[in-house]
């Protein structure tokens, strides 16, 4: 978190009480006390003049701290829900979760939206800056919506799970930025079309359709330009960008019954950047995209089929029905 984030409230008000606890304030106050001690020892400096000088310096310090920070204008930043399909919930900060409706807005830090199975949602960023498409079983939360003094718009969102595709027009203000945070890393853009997927393990995949995405983790950044993709595993720097595949193909290499005939064991693989669901459950993939999972017989269709879905970081979806012999 950058220094100014510590001072800005969710709607942009400056927190004056917090100033008293900032390390810079203690350092500044120590300098003032030391100066007072030196000046008070000189008889030509009366106490009232020392006190006046101290007050002036404190006011100047407070004003400088405020002016150095970007500000957020109340009610001027938002994400508006423009499309809802299926079970989609919105949870206002410190509020109760409820069903999302067209026109609902995410305006405060901490506001979140989540999609259920076979659901989706689309949100527009204010001032026609772009749009965000959410796939099923995804969650997005607002981390920052603010405006700098130069008019730049700061948008920071967190994707805890699922897949999100973002289309952002080129920013005209150099201070504007849009960043997507995940448990593994962060991706920042200034005008592009890209997708992010988050595995159950927290690993993040970034795929860029157009433009340029700066993906960072562990103090290292890679540039994922158009036609490339990269993966970030928790606790590791981003992998070197590789050609974009956007391929939802699923390979099932082995199907077998457990010894007690209660489970079906499926072994297979897909692109490691994809999200995989089998019988409605998110399946963790290895670094190479392989999986080995057990599916309860009770989760199968009557015709001995197991449903599976593959979703790419750009949102291409492919459904499968795996027939069990």
Q: Of the candidates 47, 67, 87, which is a domain's last residue?
A: 67
Q: Please tell me whether residues 90 and 136 are part of one structural domain.
A: yes
Assigned domain for 74 exists:
no
Domain of 60 in residue numbering reads as: 3-67
Q: Please tell me whether residues 193 and 59 are part of one structural domain.
A: no
The domain that holds 130 is classified in CATH as: 2.60.120.1440
Give the closest residue to 320 by CA, choosing from 304, 307, 305, 303: 307
The domain that holds 255 is classified in CATH as: 2.60.40.10
Q: Please tell me whether residues 187 and 224 are part of one structural domain.
A: yes
CA distance 308 to 321: 6
Q: Please tell me whether residues 228 and 309 are part of one structural domain.
A: no
Place of tokens 């993939």: 285
Assigned domain for 73 exists:
no
Q: Please tell me whether residues 164 and 239 are part of one structural domain.
A: yes
Domains identified in the chain, total number? 3
Digit-by-digit pLDDT tens for the chain (325 residues) are 333 333 333 333 344 444 444 555 555 555 655 556 555 555 555 655 556 666 666 665 555 554 444 444 444 899 999 999 999 999 999 999 999 999 999 999 999 999 999 999 999 999 888 999 999 999 999 999 999 999 999 999 999 999 999 999 999 899 999 999 999 999 999 889 999 999 999 999 999 999 999 999 999 999 999 999 999 999 999 999 999 999 999 999 999 988 888 899 999 999 999 999 999 999 999 999 999 999 998 877 667 889 999 999 999 999 999 988 7
CA distance 189 to 93: 26
This prediction has a pTM of 0.76
Q: Please tell me whether residues 108 and 231 are part of one structural domain.
A: yes
Q: Please tell me whether residues 236 and 257 are part of one structural domain.
A: no
Assigned domain for 239 exists:
yes
């Amino acid at each position: 978190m950058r220094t100014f984030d510590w001072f800005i409230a969710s709607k942009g008000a400056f927190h004056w009480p917090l100033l008293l606890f900032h390390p810079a304030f203690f350092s500044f106050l120590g300098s003032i006390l030391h100066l007072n001690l030196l000046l008070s020892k000189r008889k030509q400096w009366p106490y009232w003049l020392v006190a006046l000088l101290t007050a002036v310096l404190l006011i100047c310090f407070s004003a400088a701290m405020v002016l150095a920070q970007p500000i957020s204008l109340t009610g001027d930043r938002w994400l508006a829900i423009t499309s809802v399909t299926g079970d989609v919930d919105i949870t206002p900060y410190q509020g109760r979760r409820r069903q999302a409706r067209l026109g609902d807005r995410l305006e405060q830090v901490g506001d979140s939206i989540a999609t259920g199975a076979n659901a989706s949602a689309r949100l527009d960023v204010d001032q026609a800056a772009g749009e965000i498409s959410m796939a099923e079983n995804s969650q997005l939360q607002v981390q920052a919506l603010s405006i700098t003094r130069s008019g730049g718009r700061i948008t920071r969102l967190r994707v805890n799970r699922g897949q999100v595709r973002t289309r952002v027009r080129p920013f005209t203000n150099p201070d504007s930025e849009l960043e997507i945070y995940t448990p593994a890393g962060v991706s920042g853009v200034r005008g592009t079309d890209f997708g992010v997927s988050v595995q159950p393990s927290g690993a993040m995949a970034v795929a860029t359709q157009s433009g340029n995405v700066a993906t960072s983790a562990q103090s290292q950044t890679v540039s994922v330009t158009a036609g490339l993709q990269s993966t970030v595993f928790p606790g590791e720097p981003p992998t070197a960008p590789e050609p974009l595949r956007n391929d939802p193909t699923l390979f099932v290499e082995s199907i077998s019954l457990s010894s007690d005939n209660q489970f079906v064991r499926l072994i297979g693989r897909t692109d490691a950047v994809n999200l995989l669901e089998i019988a409605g459950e998110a399946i963790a993939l290895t670094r190479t995209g392989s999986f080995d999972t057990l599916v309860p017989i009770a989760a199968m269709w009557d015709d001995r089929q197991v449903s599976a879905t593959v979703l790419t970081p750009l949102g291409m979806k492919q459904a499968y029905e795996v027939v069990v012999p």
